[in-house]
Structure 1
């Protein structure tokens, strides 16, 4: 059998495949080119992919032997799940293992944005620190503030646990009540509008669905406090970036911390990067060494189970 792996992975991960022909793209910082992927997929039995690959109808029509798709990610909006289901292709993803790393990064962005850490680093690097000053780079206080979490899933609860360490008041909005969050961290369920109006820090952790597309836009930013810090570690498509830019420029909100963007990768020409009150990182929410290795191992395990026509360990529900 043949498995296509679209990104370079450590040898110890590739070695987990046994008695399988493995085709691995070996460029460290770029995905397998579309043309090469379309060619390799024609006789492939398995595919180990990630969110930068478009697994669409065109590709699936060529993949006449494909039995399993395994993405090294929680989200699978880059995969045409309905089309894959029609063709009897199992789809695996990697939820759970990246929860704590993503929560760490989310709270790191919150702290960095609130306390203007990047501005401070740049001030020193550019030799602009003249002396100590009473109000030099003063920011927003985190301890004792109110955090509003939009999307109280595994990551949301882990962020809330970190917030409680800072004695923060936790609000949340979700499709349904989350009894564990209410019990464990005294989280208060509220409407989206109430969350936006009351929160000092707003953390977006909603999944990418048609219902959440640009769910945070002009109307939502207008409801936030002028001192609010907005954090997005979910999906870039959940935010109207043009309206976020306007809200920041017009001082409708205080700052933003962003790990994700609507079209990735972005460049230095992106409008949001021109603003000092934006802390931006390149989609590294789960990027601890331990977590990425666990994700890769789980992705391989799902491929091997799919090749053996067995249920995947973490399988995406079929559609259609």
Structure 2
């Protein structure tokens, strides 16, 4: 019996590729460039399964053109805002994701951005790196202390809870807003807020960890930044669409926000060039899950979903 054919449009971890080649016929995009709409449609007639990343978009127009041969889209991501899930379901195509395995890595990056934004990491690095550190004063690069501060988390899924665990090591007071209140064993003493209206005013640090949905698009507006305390700091390791970037710039330039730490942007790749003028904005190129351990785990979970599907079982992460 012929083995199923799997298209992998981006270069996944070596361990993932080795396992995939062991069990399937693999077509790998060696160029490691985002799959275009035409490429996705073309490959759908040649393969039984795909393991796309967030860079491959399955909008309604693309889904309408897919060949019936394609049976499963096993995303190498937690977020699925690049997929039109109703359209794929209507075509009978199974869709899965990789939840749970990237929470710690992404939370680590959120902590790095929080600390870097709080302690002037961009400016300090530039001064030392360029040989321009020739001055010291008690008023030099005075930042905001993380220890004992209030951390407000929007979205207490896996990443939000992992961040809360790590923040407790800094004696931070955890506040959160979520679609549903967590049970006490998951709250671990965190203070629940029914709305952003009560959460934002206590946010010395605000971390966005919620998914991108129609309800969360443009979540952080000028009005909501004004609700945060003067001198507070924003961290976003979720999706760039959560933030009105013009409003964020205004909040930074006015001094109402002391700093921001961003791993995601409305335009990716590339980011927002206007942010580069502000060393109080610490930026990373959407690499929250980029550790060897996590990339292996994501790839293996995508393959677990495909394995189950072709055994005739329900994939563990079927959406």
TM range, normalised to the smaller chain? over 0.9
Aligned length in residues: 313
Give 1:1-320 correspondences, 5 Å limit: 1-17=4-20, 18=22, 20-28=24-32, 30-60=33-63, 61-180=65-184, 183-184=187-188, 186-190=189-193, 191-266=195-270, 270-316=273-319
How far did residue 181 of structure 1 move?
Answer: 6.1
Alpha-carbon separation, structure 2, partners of 1:124 and 1:112: 15
TM-score, normalised by the number of residues in structure 2: 0.93
Alpha-carbon separation, structure 2, partners of 1:71 and 1:259: 20
How far did residue 132 of structure 1 move?
Answer: 2.4
> For 1:254, what is the secondary structure of its paired residue?
strand
Q: Is the 8 A contact 1:181 1:187 kept in 2?
A: no
Cα 1:36–1:205 change in 2 (3 A) is: same
Alpha-carbon separation, structure 2, partners of 1:229 and 1:19: 47
Moved over 6 A (4+): none
> 1:107-128, CA deviations, whole angstroms, 9 ceiling, x for partnerless residues?
1111111011121111111221
Once the two structures are overlaid, the 10-residue window that deviates more, 158-167 or 18-27, is: 18-27
> For 1:106, what is the secondary structure of its paired residue?
helix
Q: Is the 8 A contact 1:41 1:59 kept in 2?
A: no
Alpha-carbon separation, structure 1, partners of 2:121 and 2:161: 25
Q: Is the 8 A contact 1:46 1:307 kept in 2?
A: no
Alpha-carbon separation, structure 1, partners of 2:209 and 2:245: 16
> 1:84-136, CA deviations, whole angstroms, 9 ceiling, x for partnerless residues?
10111111110001111111111111111101112111111122111322111
> 1:235-271, CA deviations, whole angstroms, 9 ceiling, x for partnerless residues?
111111111111111112111000111120115x611
Higher relative contact order (CA 8 A, sep 6+): 1
TM-score, normalised by the number of residues in structure 1: 0.93
Q: Is the 8 A contact 1:5 1:48 kept in 2?
A: yes
Cα 1:183–1:215 change in 2 (3 A) is: closer
Alpha-carbon separation, structure 1, partners of 2:313 and 2:187: 38
> For 2:125, what is the secondary structure of its paired residue?
helix
Q: Is the 8 A contact 1:259 1:280 kept in 2?
A: yes
How far did residue 14 of structure 1 move?
Answer: 2.1
Could you tell me which runs of 5 or more consecutive residues in structure 1 were left unpaired when the two chains were aligned: none
How far did residue 180 of structure 1 move?
Answer: 3.5
Cα 1:21–1:119 change in 2 (3 A) is: same
How far did residue 189 of structure 1 move?
Answer: 1.1
